[in-house]
Structure 1
């Protein structure tokens, strides 16, 4: 790798500060937070403003916010994103870590469609394929996606009462039971499915967000029951959340806190 250019690194450090707080900063605040010389900060801020990466805040003299050039770069990045391709990349990374089958899926009405998949190398593993469609309420990815819907959207897609289709004897079959399960998922932050779509497989899933913070997909890890346990579930839930977080970052989402 080539040598990093300190001035470029400092300029990028300045820009990244604006991702925090209310999005406005003064030169003295930048100086204090980055521990840089005042002259260096003044020169860098002046250059960034001249190139429209920063602009003065009209009603707050001496303060700056991100300029239109940063928006243009972000928009171009977003235009080139491919959820399926990015999902396949992250699914491969997660599968290499846990050696289980990893999926990325999206919600369509009350079904999930798998858009990316990487197989486990174990002889005993889940058999599926990208493009497969399943009832959302029978899968971890589906329940994660349903739990992420606003209440009015969920009401439009699911009945408040009645019977839901079953794929196995463990499938949730009542609308009321599903709504209780979705409430638990929202509280927990990830979804679990134990033999609800396949009598020999259990799964965990975590939400994938876009740059606006909307849940646009879910990432799951599927495990044959011979390798499933409470400890394995918790370990895979952590890996699923980490993988979903990485995919979210590729889609432009920035985690707070």
Structure 2
């Protein structure tokens, strides 16, 4: 790795303070970073000249992020490809667990799989990119549905019974609502033989730079390799994977 440039690091330190605070004065930046006052004034002056910072208002001694940062962020967002980024993260997860990993998006009441990495085991889930499944029968789909307002879920599914793919599938709105509430609280969706009698899955939602859930990522395991210990370990792994993919899509976690 190339040697870090201290002046550049300090400039980024200044900019990153504004991730959590809208406005800061030079003395506040000095106090938070512990840098010499003259250094902070030079950094703030340079960043302002380049459009990365701007005065918070007429007569104010505080600064806020300038338009240049927005332009860079917009350029980054325009070049993002969910399928490509999802494939890369799916490969990382599959390498760690040796199981099948999917990335899916919701289209109405269905899930469309946009990325996939196969398990290295001879016994594994058979699926394909481009395949569609009922959202309420899959871990990916339930992770996506859990991000919706209750009224929108009700509108999607109407009043009739939900289509079952196996005897384990959820078939009522009441049961689905209870499951989605649990997922929203826990952050991980789980499926046990609901879309395939021989497969169990865990999934977690993926967010973009706006904070919206735009996809979900899952790990699918044949039930012959499924137990409580495996479920717990893969739940932690899929949380990490979803966070990594979200970060690659521009999402910034807030404490």
TM-score interval, smaller chain: over 0.9
Cα distance between partner residues in 1 of 2:122 and 2:59: 64
Alignment partner, residue 20 of structure 1 = 20
Cα distance between partner residues in 2 of 1:188 and 1:134: 23
Alignment partner, residue 50 of structure 2 = 51
Give the C-alpha shift of residue 61 in structure 1. Answer: 1.5
Cα distance between partner residues in 2 of 1:179 and 1:60: 53
Alignment partner, residue 181 of structure 1 = 179
Alignment partner, residue 144 of structure 1 = 143
Q: 2:201 aligns with which of 198, 203, 209?
A: 203
Structure 2: 5+ residue stretches without partners: none
Asked if the contact 2:56/2:62 (under 8 Å) is kept, the reply is: yes
Cα distance between partner residues in 1 of 2:254 and 2:168: 36
Alignment partner, residue 242 of structure 1 = 240
Cα distance between partner residues in 1 of 2:230 and 2:39: 51
Q: 1:165 aligns with which of 157, 163, 166?
A: 163
Give the C-alpha shift of residue 60 in structure 1. Answer: 6.5
Give the C-alpha shift of residue 126 in structure 1. Answer: 0.8
Cα distance between partner residues in 2 of 1:158 and 1:33: 51
Cα distance between partner residues in 2 of 1:181 and 1:59: 52
Once the two structures are overlaid, the 10-residue window that deviates more, 39-48 or 149-158, is: 149-158
Once the two structures are overlaid, the 10-residue window that deviates more, 202-211 or 161-170, is: 161-170
SS in 2 for 1:208: strand
Cα distance between partner residues in 1 of 2:216 and 2:37: 45
Is 1:252 aligned to 2:250, yes or no? yes
Asked if the contact 2:154/2:173 (under 8 Å) is kept, the reply is: no
Give the C-alpha shift of residue 118 in structure 1. Answer: 0.5
Alignment partner, residue 133 of structure 2 = 134
Is 1:93 aligned to 2:92, yes or no? yes
Cα distance between partner residues in 2 of 1:11 and 1:247: 27
Is 1:121 aligned to 2:135, yes or no? no
Give the C-alpha shift of residue 59 in structure 1. Answer: 5.5
Once the two structures are overlaid, the 10-residue window that deviates more, 137-146 or 226-235, is: 226-235
C-alpha RMSD of the superposition: 1.1
Give the C-alpha shift of residue 162 in structure 1. Answer: 2.2
SS in 1 for 2:101: strand
Give the C-alpha shift of residue 84 in structure 1. Answer: 0.3
Cα distance between partner residues in 2 of 1:55 and 1:131: 46
Change (3 A) 1:29 1:111: same
- TM-score when normalising by structure 1: 0.97
Structure 1: 5+ residue stretches without partners: none
Alignment partner, residue 217 of structure 1 = 215
Asked if the contact 2:110/2:132 (under 8 Å) is kept, the reply is: yes
Alignment partner, residue 9 of structure 1 = 9
Q: Deviation digits for residues 138-193 of structure 1, max 9, x if unmatched?
A: 0000011011112332222112x321111111111112211111111111111000
Alignment partner, residue 233 of structure 1 = 231
Cα distance between partner residues in 2 of 1:59 and 1:155: 49
